[in-house]
Amino acid sequence: MRDAYTDQLDAIRDDLLTMTRLVGEAVSKATQALLDGNAQLAEQVISEDEAVDVLRVRIEEESFDLLALQNPVAGDLRMLVASLRMVGEFERMGDLSVHIAKIARLRVPEVAVPDELVPTIARMSAVAEVMVAKVGHIIADSDVAAAEELEQVDEEMDRLRRSSFRELLGSDWKHGVEPAVDIALLGRYYERIADHAVSIARRVVFLVTGEQPTYLD
């Protein structure tokens, strides 16, 4: 019975790692669609988001079953509670990738991002992808040190967001209202993906130590 219980816990962790991979792929594909003006790829991101939703439901059902039937304690209990919270974070990250893809689709055949902002948006995506990948490592290895380091990576995302705002609010902005709105929204979407990654990492710290991180804002 306990072997089956352990297998169920491992399956939940594996599903969380699968969600990490799916979200990372969604961010990458959505950004490619955005910068290339690729409507087909944008549609792919939107349609594939269902896989993240399906995993959320499965993890929630398995976690609630274990909570009800196995009466877990200590670390196992923290793992299940953390998992229930993480899946919501992952689902929102997937939804944010869909929002990016929808901006890409909306502006086809044009490209939503003005040329001078392409490096900033591309870097925001790269940072987001790195953070999602690090979250996978943090979950797989219960790596508290890596979770703390993720906070520093998030600072770069905040700097990039501020930089994009300076561009669109500058006196030499010549692209009009719609691109300005797009850039403001895109900056927010990437920033929120990063915020969710940090939140998941903090939950892993709690899972491992049983204490809330001391570096919380």
**Residues 152-209: tens digit of each pLDDT:** 999 999 999 999 999 988 888 999 999 999 999 999 999 999 999 999 999 998 888 8
| Average pLDDT of every residue of the chain | 92
Task: Assign 61 a pLDDT band (cuts: 50, 70, 90).
Answer: very high
Is residue 216 over pLDDT 50? no
CATH number of 192's domain? 1.20.58.220
Gap between the Cα atoms of 48 and 70, Å rounded? 34
Q: How many domains does the chain have?
A: 1
pLDDT digit string, tens, across residues 29-60: 999 999 999 999 999 999 999 999 999 999 99
Does residue 187 belong to any structural domain of this protein? Answer: yes
Q: How far is CA 179 from the centre of its chain?
A: 24
Assign residue 129 a region (left: φ > 0; alpha: ψ between -120 and 50; beta: otherwise). Answer: alpha
Distance CA 156, CA 151 (A): 9
**Mean pLDDT value of segment 141-145:** 91
Tell me whether residue 157 is in a domain. yes
Q: Is residue 111 part of a domain?
A: yes
CB 77 within 8 A of CB 71: no
User: Is 216 domain-assigned?
Assistant: no
Residue 214 lies in a domain: no
Q: What is the domain extent for residue 188?
A: 2-209
